[in-house]
Amino acid sequence: MSDLLNKASLVVIPSGYKEDTVYSVVPSDGSGDLSFTRASNGTRVNSAGLVEVCPWNLLDESERFSNWALQGSSVSSDSTTAPNGTTTADTIIESNTTDEHNRYQETTIGGGQFTYSIYLKRFNTDWSALYVFNTAVGGVRYWVNLSTLTAGTSANIGSGIGTTSLSLESVGNGWVRASITFTNPSGACRFYVANAQSNGGASSYAGNGTNGIYVWGAQLNIGSTAKPYFPTTDRLNVPRLTYQNGGGGCPSLLLEKQSTNLFTYSEQLDNADWFKNNLTITANSTTSPDGTQNADLLDDGTASSTQHWIYQGPAFSNSTTYTISFYAKYVSRKYMAVNIYNGSTSQYVVYDIQNGSVYGSTGDVTASMTSVGNGWYRVVYTRTMASSGSPNFRIAMADDTGNETYTGSNKQVYLWGMQCEASSYPTSYIVSTSSSATRVADVCSKSGIGALIGGTSGTVFFDIKTNPTLSSANYKQFCYYVTSGGSQSYLYLDGANKIRTNATWGSLFYNTALQPNTRYKVALVFAPNDFALYINGVSVATASSGTPNNNVDLQIGQFNGTEMCEFVFNQYTHFPSRLTNAELASLTSL
């Protein structure tokens, strides 16, 4: 494989990225880097196998403090060397007025444990203060001695927030990374970095217009420790490098369609938006698939001969397909059921959450369970609504025979990450709070790349893994190559999940459906009157007539944000020549 890569003009193996960009391995000078857009948050599975918001830094403008809100301060941008060796650290200088002298950013976050971190260095004053302030319940202030890089005192602001702590890490050249871990009840929080006159002194004092501190690299992340610093500007357009099979190994590039989680409070089942019947909910009872203690416990109580369920009322539309998904973990109640009345019939699925299998179902329902580690399973239910009626649904506990009507016995399950999408398959988890939440489509492309992908002979190679479920949607793109005149060449999965190409790439067709949750290595070779498709070491389709396009633009995994792939990319490679049959067999062998 390494010898073949020496022949490649473009190689993308997901490993390096930043906002707006997926780096290419070949060439390494930036000319092959792919542009990336997704104007929203998303989630991925990180290397530890945990569901993680991407980007994990929940603050924007992490190095541009002139763009933060302010009280009694000015900023000198890019005024000194930052911990990463670049001249990107700022100076916050107090005003010559009696005021607080700070910069802050406000953002709305959910409940649970978070860590706010920032890099600090002495400029010409010894003390700095960091605040975390929930606008509804108050917060906490910590002082840091920048001369000795040690902690000072702390004080609550108002009634304070949940349990907090401060940690300091010296990172060299006078810099210290200060981190506040806190438990947030939910809602809007402000994150401050401030000049301070003394240890424990009043937040408002008479400034002299010259004293200041160096600051760099602000971050807010979910969890009880500061994650590796990730720089942000607007927090948009960050590629998702996801890890399969519970984490570890090499990452894959995740590209998905736009989708909306119609549920509110997806991690807070105790919220009033969730209706409950004959069960109780204890919030934040155990560690969820995101690694923090924010999963809820459901207890079926002791009510006799009744149903024990929760539900919300999103506005289901007739003749529309919906997918409900959530994470479940066994405690003492083995079975759970999802039941949607679609306007004419009620169809249910019973899930065995102790053993991770579908116990039983009725009707036109697609159901699955996928293990995500630590006893958790992602439960999936898909159904199309009838053309009329008033559809609704419920998520219920079930007795040892799978019956939803039974006498409770204080048996329990854990739930987390509730999601409902107008989709024929589940997409990655979308976090919601007080309103529905939308993840915009991922778009990975490159214009004017004809020097690397142009010519009428070449080989296109993909190493992919299909989703745990595959829909019957047309089409699901591997890639789109486009000429300067707009003519197209493309490789895709059709509605039956069979690989095809269009006419300029030989109208190839592989009459075997790709299977869900399966790895494939696919190579397409094209040359005048010479086309071939190789999959997993075998030639599966050929054609001997046609003239390929000379292409200059590239889109991976989608076409203009639609026709999205339903797989992750382990590798994409373009060779500017037709590889030999022996090379193709070697390249695509698993």
Helix (H), strand (E), coil (C) string for 91-118: EEEECCCEEECEEEEEEEECCEEEEEEE
Rounded distance between C-alpha atoms, residue 381 and residue 367, angstroms: 5
**pLDDT value for 376:** 97
- Report if pTM > 0.85: yes
Torsion of CA 226, 232, 235, 237, to 10 degrees: -120
**pLDDT value for 244:** 79
Which residues are CB-contacts of 322 (< 8 A; sequence separation ≥ 6)? 316, 340, 382, 383, 384, 385, 420, 421, 422, 423
**pLDDT value for 389:** 77
**pLDDT value for 474:** 87
| 65-222: CATH class | mainly beta
CATH code, residues 259-432: 2.60.120.260
**pLDDT value for 361:** 87
**Low-confidence spans in the chain with pLDDT less than 70:** 1-2, 245
**pLDDT value for 134:** 95
CB 421 within 8 A of CB 262: yes
**pLDDT value for 363:** 80
**pLDDT value for 73:** 98
Bridge partners of 336, per DSSP, are 351, 397
Strands 321-330 and 412-421 come out as: antiparallel
**pLDDT value for 314:** 79
The amino acid that residue 395 corresponds to is I
| Range 416-430 burial, b when 16+ CB lie within 10 A, else e | bbbbbbebbbbbbbb
Cα distances from 178 to residues 131, 151, 333, 562, in angstroms, run: 11, 9, 43, 43
φ, ψ at 505 (rounded to 5°): -115, 30
Domain ranges in the chain with CATH number 2.60.120.200: 2-40+442-588
Phi-psi region of 524 (alpha: psi -120 to 50; beta: other; left: phi over 0): beta
Give the residue among 194, 218, 220 at the shortest CA–CA distance from 207.
194
| 2-40+442-588: CATH class | mainly beta
Query: 204 exposed, middle or buried (CB, 10 Å; 0-12, 13-18, 19+)?
Result: middle
DSSP letters for 381-448: EEEEPPSSS--EEEEEEE-TTS-SEE---S-EEEEEEEEEESSSS--S----SSS-EEEPPPEEEESS
**pLDDT value for 560:** 87
**pLDDT value for 573:** 97
